[in-house]
């Protein structure tokens, strides 16, 4: 797409590295005002500085956001809403993968807490601004791994049984179900919500697993570069032909197959209500 984004405001979580950084670079090149929302400020500033120098777009700014802490998410959203009058693109890109068992500041299992609940809360807090700025888009980075995921309501935080590979898959299924229910609720608002699989990408996501890091090195020839991995995120964020497309799941810039569990409306509704309960919010 040759779409230009002058006058548009975009937030990208986890945009200091990998596909998030490449997505930020592309949107900046198109003229958008880009907010790089990250936990590691030093790394984010280095990425933003590089993007500003390369694109000539000085409207690339960094804001601290720790998705493993709801206090940080609320602070980020509060500052953003006080400073910015518009929001056209929200890309929920940040994620953790294969973490040893740990919990967020609020006691959520790390994969579920960061990959799903953190972005769920962030979207909730920014939704009115997205509606006011419509047409606008929400893009959730999920994964092909959602096919192996299940929403285990009886053990959401993996306290009874934990497998770090499956915990990642469960959280990616949650992304797909969140997108589906969000799109249903946003019908008629001109705010769209789509999810995507970026592909198997050479990235820092596997940093918690020595074995995966070795495999990634051995098979790097078959992996996408971060630039290639970012293309579907960019497509969902800017392609003119997707302006009214919502509730879909994409891979390689085209609609892709969703697992039966990712198409279960009852599970999507239940996950929505349980997520609201865990976060202490009312989102009707």
Inside any domain, residue 284: no
Inside any domain, residue 3: no
Instruction: Give the domain extent around 210.
Output: 9-279
Least confident range from 86-90, 198-202, 217-221: namely: 217-221
Inside any domain, residue 143: yes
Q: Which of 168, 235, 249, 257 is catalytic?
A: 168
Q: What is the pLDDT of residues 38-96, one digit of tens each?
A: 999 999 999 999 999 999 999 999 999 999 999 999 999 999 999 999 999 999 999 99
For residue 105, pLDDT beyond 60: yes
Q: Band of the pLDDT at 216, cuts 50, 70, 90?
A: very low
Say what the pLDDT of residue 207 is.
Answer: 53
Q: Does the annotation mark 168 as catalytic? A: yes
Say what the pLDDT of residue 255 is.
Answer: 97
Count of the separate structural domains present in the chain: 1
The number of angstroms, rounded, from the C-alpha of 197 to the middle of its chain's C-alpha atoms is 11
Residues 98 and 208: beta-carbon distance below 8 Å: yes
Inside any domain, residue 4: no
Inside any domain, residue 239: yes
Inside any domain, residue 135: yes
For residue 196, pLDDT beyond 50: yes
Rounded mean pLDDT of 7-15? 98
Task: Write the DSSP string, 188-238.
Answer: TTTEEEEEEE--SB-SGGGGG-HHHHHHHHHTGGGSBPHHHHHHHHHHHHH
Q: What is the pLDDT of residues 18-32, one digit of tens each?
A: 999 999 999 999 999
CATH number, domain of 134, equals 3.40.50.720
For residue 217, pLDDT beyond 90: no
The CA distance from 83 to 252, in Å, is 35
Least confident range from 34-38, 110-114, 197-201: namely: 197-201
Inside any domain, residue 1: no
Inside any domain, residue 66: yes
What is the average pLDDT score of the chain? 93
The CA distance from 123 to 145, in Å, is 22
The CA distance from 117 to 124, in Å, is 10
For residue 224, pLDDT beyond 90: no
Say what the pLDDT of residue 284 is.
Answer: 86
For residue 169, pLDDT beyond 90: yes
**Contacts for 96-99: CB closer than 8 Å, 24+ residues apart:** 96/168, 96/205, 96/208, 97/168, 97/205, 97/206, 97/208, 97/209, 98/164, 98/165, 98/168, 98/205, 98/206, 98/208, 98/209, 98/212, 99/164, 99/167, 99/208
Q: What is the pLDDT of residues 111-153, one digit of tens each?
A: 999 999 999 999 999 999 999 999 999 999 999 999 999 999 9
Rounded mean pLDDT of 102-119? 98
% of residues, the chain, pLDDT over 70: 92
């Amino acid at each position: 797409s040759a779409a230009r984004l002058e006058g548009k405001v975009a937030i990208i979580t986890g945009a200091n590295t990998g596909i998030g950084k490449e997505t930020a670079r592309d949107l900046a090149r198109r003229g958008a005002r880009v907010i790089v929302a990250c936990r590691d400020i030093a790394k984010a500033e280095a990425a933003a500085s590089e993007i500003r120098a390369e694109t000539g777009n000085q409207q690339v700014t960094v804001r601290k956001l720790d998705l493993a802490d709801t206090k940080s998410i609320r602070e980020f959203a509060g500052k953003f809403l006080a400073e910015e009058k518009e929001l056209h693109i929200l890309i929920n890109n940040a994620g953790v993968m294969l973490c040893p068992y740990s919990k967020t500041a609020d006691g959520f299992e790390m994969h579920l807490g960061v990959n799903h609940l953190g972005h769920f809360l962030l979207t909730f807090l920014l939704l009115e601004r997205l509606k006011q700025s419509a047409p606008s888009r929400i893009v959730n980075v999920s994964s092909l791994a959602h096919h192996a995921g299940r929403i285990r309501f009886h053990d959401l935080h993996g306290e009874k049984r934990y497998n770090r590979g499956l915990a990642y898959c469960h959280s990616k299924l949650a992304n797909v179900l969140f997108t589906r229910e969000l799109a249903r609720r946003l019908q008629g608002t001109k705010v769209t919500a789509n999810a995507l699989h970026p592909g198997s990408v050479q990235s820092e996501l596997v940093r918690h697993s020595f074995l995966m890091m070795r495999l990634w090195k051995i098979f790097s020839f078959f992996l996408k570069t971060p630039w290639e991995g970012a293309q579907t995120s960019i497509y969902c964020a800017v392609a003119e032909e997707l302006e009214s497309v919502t509730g879909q799941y994409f891979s390689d810039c085209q609609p892709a197959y969703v697992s039966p569990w990712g198409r279960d409306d009852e599970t999507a509704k239940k996950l929505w209500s349980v997520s609201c309960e865990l976060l202490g919010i009312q989102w009707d």
